[in-house]
């Protein structure tokens, strides 16, 4: 058992070491924020989630909640990748250890973005719980995923 856990522990420590800290100085929308890293402003897209756009139901609420939780705070940024816009795609760990990504999904203010995070099982589980409890955007009997809302003409129901 210990032989199996050691590589996992080392991988987790390496991943944690790859992250960095900074102060959140702007919230563009629920899933995009700007973090001050030293003197550099870094645009961060929250990994594995997609919040409603500002013009959608719950879009402004998602932005407001992200601001309540993160704005002005020093957070840990655990990068996963970069997106096509050059943003750092990352987990954002709030003071206290919870991730902003997970909180927004748990409160029904974001979808688990399966297309880009198919192995983020914790996000899938949190979305399922929010759906079952009809929290946030799940109060709507037929919420439109933001990836569909951004592309008029596509079907309104998707499990991406």
Q: Give the catalytic positions in this structure.
A: 45, 53, 87
Q: Angle at Cα 50 formed by Cα 141 and Cα 135, nearest 5°? A: 40
Rg (CA), the chain: 16
Q: What are the E-state strand segments in 83-123? A: 88-93, 111-112
Task: Return the bridge partners of 22, or none.
Answer: 75
The rounded distance, in Å, linking the Cα atoms of 39 and 66 is: 22
Q: Which of 132, 107, 133 is nearest to 49 (CA)?
A: 107
Please name the residue ranges forming H helices in 18-114. 59-70, 100-106
The rounded distance, in Å, linking the Cα atoms of 11 and 51 is: 29
């Amino acid at each position: 058992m210990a032989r199996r856990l050691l590589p996992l522990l080392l991988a987790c420590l390496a991943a944690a070491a790859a992250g960095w800290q900074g102060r959140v100085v702007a919230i563009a929308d629920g899933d995009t924020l700007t973090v001050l890293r030293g003197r550099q402003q870094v645009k961060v897209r929250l990994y594995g989630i997609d919040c409603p756009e500002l013009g959608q139901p719950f879009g402004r609420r998602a932005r407001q909640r992200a601001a309540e939780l993160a704005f002005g705070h020093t957070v840990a940024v655990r990068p996963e990748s970069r997106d096509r816009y050059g943003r750092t795609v990352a987990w954002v760990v709030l003071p206290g250890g919870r991730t902003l990504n997970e909180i927004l999904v748990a409160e029904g203010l974001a979808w688990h973005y399966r297309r880009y995070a198919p192995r983020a099982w914790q996000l899938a589980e949190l979305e399922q719980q929010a759906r079952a409890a009809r929290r946030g955007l799940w109060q709507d009997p037929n919420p439109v995923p933001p990836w569909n809302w951004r592309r008029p003409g596509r079907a309104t129901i998707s499990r991406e």
